Amino acid sequence: MKDLITTMAAISIMMIFILQFSVNQALISRITASDRAVNAYKLTLQDKGDKADNAGDTLAENISRILGCEKSEVKIIESEESYEVRAPIKNVIACGSLLGISQDENRTEYVVKGRIP
């Protein structure tokens, strides 16, 4: 009986690693999709077409949808020659609450900086 209890505890702990692998794969997909949205934004800024006026708004909507954050949390800093996009990525660690990681600690930030030629 003692072996069964020990084995069940070990399997439970090992499942966290499998869940973390899945979370990492999902994060990679979300970051890649965010990079694509930022690249589309950069091309819009380069063209300076009619869409350039609301390109930042569109980017903020896309990033918030992709990363699962509020639109107000997405920060876009734009100047004549450069841009910077910042947005929070939440739930980076699988089973964070089980491991004693608070919601505030279980996050990172997506940051992209670039130049507009």
Q: Can you give the pLDDT of all 117 residues of the chain as single tens digits?
A: 888 899 998 898 889 899 999 999 999 999 999 999 999 999 888 887 545 678 889 999 999 999 999 999 999 998 888 899 999 999 999 888 888 899 899 999 999 999 987
**18-24, long-range: CB < 8 A, 24+ apart:** 19/94, 19/95, 20/93, 20/94, 20/95, 22/94, 23/91, 23/92, 23/93, 23/94
Q: Domain ranges for the chain, please list them.
A: 2-115
**pLDDT score at 30:** 96
Report the C-alpha gap between 77 and 81 in whole angstroms: 11
**pLDDT score at 26:** 94
